[in-house]
Amino acid sequence: MSNKFVSVKDFENYAVGTLPRTVLGYYQSGACDEYTLSINNKAFNKLRIVPRMLRDVRNRDLSITIQGDKVNVPIGISPCAMHKMAHEDGECASARAAGKHGAIFILSTLSTCSLEEVATAAPNTVKWFQLYIYKDRVLTTSLIRRAEKSGYKALVLTVDAPVFGIRYKDIKNNFSLPSRLRLGNFSEELSVMNQTNGSGLTKYVMSLFDDRLVWDDIKWLKSITDLPIIVKGILSAADAKIAADLGCDGVFVSNPGGRQLDTAPATIEVLPSIAREVGHRVDIYFDCGIRHGTDVFKALAFGAKMVFLAQPILWGLTYDGQKGAEDVFGIVVNEFDNPMALAGCASLDQIKKEMVVPKSVYSKL
């Protein structure tokens, strides 16, 4: 890694100057005026870490057990679509990068590498599969069976997309999957997005995804698979409680990247209330806005068991494929290990909620 690339922002700047306008717009944009996208990052800056001193942090342990698998770090790669737009190796490279760091990789339904390709490319990586439920339940069941057969360890059910958010940049750019690429998990007409006026992705989703989903569909999902089920897109304690009551194995706090409902809260703003409601019952996972290791620390202090990255991995892929993704991931891990030590924590269980306070409170300490 060049000494000119020392932060996630450095990789982002490279990607901004390199990726085609339509691809960059899809990867980088949020819904409507991008208010929620903006506050995902800014909300972290309103929080202060209160360090503890003289605590012996020589032998720091960042490992944790998640859904029965021990991983090296409480940081993973979140599901995001179409990695091959950033680099020809696509999700296979991202999954291998996660494996190099002993981390979890979540594959998107709308990936440009198939479930099977990623499983073969990264056999030693702990992999989960992000699932959309299609109107065609036979197709949905087929995806689940393929995930089971290929060794994926959990299903991450996206529940915040009965329709796709209004994304101005995608509409202006007439965004669609480039014609040279295909959605890896599908064949024939389901593997392509027609070029059209407006967002081809939105039209694809509206035609195929089931917008009639209700909480009872979780029961259907549990009846056809033994894989752990994690619901992604939760922003309220009330919904988190319903998920826990239905026997879901995890709640994933996500908005996602400010791409759905604009003016929805930042994920870090709602995390404490969700943790209070269900943190003692199910695992809580978290994404959106993570750019620094200090962000990871703050999310764990507020009740997340693990956090996930999306955009930063795409910036790393754009720069240098798997190696670039590894480098970006390593930056965030190092930036997390450093404040762990400076805050006086040798293990994850020593990160306490009282170590992170709003700036208004810290000014009075």
Does the annotation place 52 within a ligand binding site? no
pLDDT tens for each residue of 213-229:
999 999 999 999 999 99
> β-strands 229-234, 250-253: how paired?
parallel
Average pLDDT of the residues of the chain: 94
Binding residue per annotation — 132?
Answer: yes
What pLDDT does residue 362 have?
59
User: Which of 97, 49, 105 shows the shortest CA–CA distance to 79?
Assistant: 105
266: annotated binding-site residue?
A: no
Over residues 290-316, the mean pLDDT reads 98
How many angstroms separate the CA atoms of 191 and 105, rounded? 22
46-92 residue pLDDT tens? 999 999 999 999 999 999 999 999 999 999 999 999 999 999 999 99
Is 290 assigned to a binding site?
Answer: yes
CB 49 within 8 A of CB 343: yes
2 annotated to a ligand binding site: no
How does pLDDT run across 259-294, given as a tens digit for each residue? 999 999 999 999 999 999 999 999 999 999 999 999
Domains belonging to the chain, first-starting first, are 8-52+65-346 (3.20.20.70)
- 79 marked ligand binding residue: yes
User: Model's pTM, two decimal places?
Assistant: 0.96
Task: Tell me the residue ranges of DSSP E strands in 16-56.
Answer: 47-49
Question: Is 146 within any annotated ligand binding site?
Answer: no
| pLDDT of 2 | 62
| Continuous H helices in 101-215 | 115-121, 137-149, 168-172, 200-208
Question: What's the pLDDT at 196?
Answer: 66
What whole-number percentage of the chain has pLDDT above 90?
88
Measure the CA–CA gap between 195 and 177, rounded to whole angstroms. Answer: 8
Q: What would the pLDDT profile of 317-364 be if each residue is shown by its tens digit?
A: 999 999 999 999 999 999 999 999 999 999 999 999 999 999 776 566
Taking residues 191-220, report their average pLDDT.
83
137 is in an annotated binding site: no
75 is known to lie in a ligand binding site: no
Burial 36-63 (b: 16+ CB within 10 A, else e): bbebbbebbeebbbeeeeeeebeeeebe
Q: Is 96 annotated as a binding residue?
A: no
> Among residues 108, 21, 62, which one has the least CA distance to residue 313?
108
136 annotated as belonging to a binding site for a ligand: no
Q: What is the pLDDT of residue 92?
A: 98
Q: How far apart are CA 231 and CA 96, in angstroms?
A: 25
Count Cα neighbours of 293 within 13 Å in the Cβ-side half-sphere: 20
Q: With CA atoms as reference, report the closest residue to 152 among 100, 229, 248, 247.
A: 229
294 labelled as ligand-binding?
Answer: no
Count of CA atoms in the C-beta half-sphere (13 A) of 115:
22
Q: Residue length, the chain? A: 365
Read off the pLDDT of each residue in 186-207 and give the average, rounded to a whole number: 78
Q: Tell me the per-residue pLDDT of 15-53, one tens digit each, with 9 for 90 and over.
A: 999 999 999 999 999 999 999 999 999 999 999 999 999
319 has binding-site annotation:
no
- For the CA atoms of 295, 296, 300, 304, what is the dihedral angle to 10 degrees? 100
Annotated binding residue 254: yes
Return the SS3 of 324. Answer: helix
232 is in an annotated binding site: yes
Any known ligand binding at 323?
A: no
Whether pLDDT at 365 is above 60:
no
Q: Give the C-alpha separation, 335 to 326, whole Å.
A: 14
Per-residue pLDDT, 119 = 98
Q: Is 345 annotated as a binding residue?
A: no
Q: Using pLDDT thresholds of 50, 70 and 90, give the confidence band for residue 1.
A: low
